Chain A
Amino acid sequence: MKSVPRELSGIRDKVARRRVVLEEKAVKKKDRREARKSREKERERLGSEAPPKQEPRTLENTREHDETIVQRGDEAVTEAEQVDEFAGVFGGEVTPKILVTTGYRATRVTYEFLKDFVAVIPNIVYYKRGQYELKKIVKYATSKDFTDIIVVREDHKLLTGLVHCHLPDGPTAEYRLTSYLPSGRIRNRGKSTSHTPEVILNNFTTRLGRRVGRMIGALFPHNPEFRGRQAVTIHNQRDFLFFRFHRYVFSEAGERVRLQELGPRFTLKLKSLHGGTFDPAGGEFEWIQKKDMVTSRRRFVL
């Protein structure tokens, strides 16, 4: 509830005071509307010489300067990306093969998530976790030519995290997993087909961001089947990675596109990224989230 402006607090009668407040509000609204109209007229009159429209300030366009943001045509970065761990997948020489498993003693929550998840990513194999340590699984998966391991974690029957380890030489990323919405609970959703989806990696700007984006992108084969008209989106907004899965259809003239969500939805947030395969104790961290890191809401790392 809004408090009464100080200059009106002298009016003791509540009804009268309310009336005055409303009147003032109406006046303000009217003023604003008129100001806008006059601005529009001015713009029309000046035509091309009109001052540019004012953009609303957002966290995105007032983002803190970050020198690791990759500029368009940065050759050093593109060259580095041509020889990184995912170059094989993006070059089309390697077809990703993914092993997915749960944490110890997983419950229904994880299994339901996996059911949705497995339907999205092609060439994915679920293995029961049992009592195997992750390091042993890494060894096994490497020997079986898997390119990635994904472990879904839960705690107190809630999904909490996801570990993604690229093989054979890493890197390993740890994510916080939230806002999971099963496909079944999405309204008007479609059913996915087994076509290889396209991947849309949105908004990964910094070097770390691009690396993370490429890492996730490398889960999907680089030859999407366009006739399936399915697209997986990993959209980065303020360091939150939104995962969506859609089917699309273009209008006749190709001017519009309509989407149908296939699901699931979930959100990832990077917690750490370290080189090499899974080894949280000895791994060399490229980035790790620390408690005192969040001092500005305009600083983003991805």
Chain B
Amino acid sequence: MQHDDAVWNLLSQNFCSFKVKTRTNTFCKHEYNVTGLCSRQACPLANSRYATILEREGRCVMYIKTIERAHMPNKLWEKIKLPSNYTKALEIVDERMQYWPKFLVHKAKQRLTKITQYLIRKRRLKLRAKTRLVGINKKVEKRDRSREAKALRAAKLDRTIEKELLERLRSGTYDSIYNFPKVQYEKALEEEAELEEEEDEELQEEEEEEMEYEAEYDSEEDEEEEEYASSMQDMEDLGSESKNGEKFDFDDDSDLDDEEIAEEEVKKVLTSRSKTRAKGRKRKSRGVRVEVEYENEPTTSQQESNRN
């Protein structure tokens, strides 16, 4: 009944419907072939004893063909479902293929390994969320783009934001903050006025002195300037003091870096304001004797350099 050699002769020498010849190799399309190559060892037709492992519906199944079954082609292959546990499956393979050719045992185990691995990978991939690709409708996209541009124009963003902020200011959201420049500023103004009155008196005295010591005019002038500078300093100190007071708690120096920008601007506004006022008053009070230098110089160092 068994004529393996005769079958192999036929298949290899003549026609085999599973045989695929390429330039470099000859392949076998038979599903049960353990290697996929057309060879005497691996041919599932020309071997009356043969075993392979295949994947059926996510499980490994062992297919075994023995000489004893050769007379009934419909039951030629015995099918054994292998357990999903890899080691147990290996044990069964070992048990069923005891004393079989080493080549077939080795290939069967190789297939078992490969199949278990890809099944694990398959399960893992299935569990992972997949990104869904969504088409972009060009027409809609284009329409949205032009509508967005029109909406932006209609929004008049700067104006609406300004309006909202002013509304907040009026409704008193910033009361704790924006009272401070006004209150402190007025306070500063009062103090400034007092200072200037004193200064005026001094000036008058000075003028009298000046008449006497005309020769020493220059040094006199310097002194006066220093005085003015110090008064300015006082005013600035006043401003910063007020800021350190109850309205602002700048006591914590930790986040001073971040506040610097914001603080600077506030300071700028405050000082520039007090200075312009100071300038104006000074001019008036001086009367006839106008000190041109004070007009442009905000700091003492500049004043000095200008004089030189």
Contacts and interface: CB of A to CB of B under 8 A. Distances in A.
**Interface secondary structure of A, over-half rule:** mixed
B262 A227 contact: yes
Interface string B260-287: 0111010001000100000000000000
A191 B261 contact: yes
Interface stretch (A30-38, A69-77, A192-200): A192-200
B176 A226 contact: yes
A105 to B, nearest CB: 10
Contacts of A5: none
A291 interface: yes
B265 to A, nearest CB: 6
Interface in B148-164: 148, 150-152, 154-155, 157-158, 160-162, 164
Interface string A229-246: 101010101111010101
Nearest to B164: A200
A51 interface: no
Contact of A240 (B152, B164, B166, B174): B152
A184 interface: no
A257 interface: yes
Give the most central of B147, B151, B269, B273: most A CB within 10 Å. Answer: B151
Q: A interface, how many residues as a size bin?
A: 35 or more
Contact of B161 (A195, A233, A291): A233
25 contacts: A179-B148, A193-B261, A194-B255, A195-B259, A202-B160, A202-B161, A226-B174, A227-B259, A233-B157, A233-B164, A235-B155, A237-B154, A238-B150, A240-B147, A242-B152, A244-B157, A248-B162, A250-B165, A250-B166, A252-B181, A252-B269, A259-B162, A269-B148, A291-B137, A294-B140
Interface of A: 58-60, 104, 133-135, 176, 178-179, 190-191, 193-195, 198, 200, 202, 226-229, 231, 233, 235, 237-240, 242, 244, 246-250, 252, 254-257, 259, 267, 269, 280, 291, 294, 297
Q: Which 6 A-B pairs have the closest CB atoms?
A: A237-B155, A238-B151, A237-B151, A193-B258, A133-B129, A226-B177
Given A240-B147, A257-B166, 7 more contacts: A179-B148, A195-B258, A235-B155, A238-B147, A240-B148, A269-B144, A291-B140
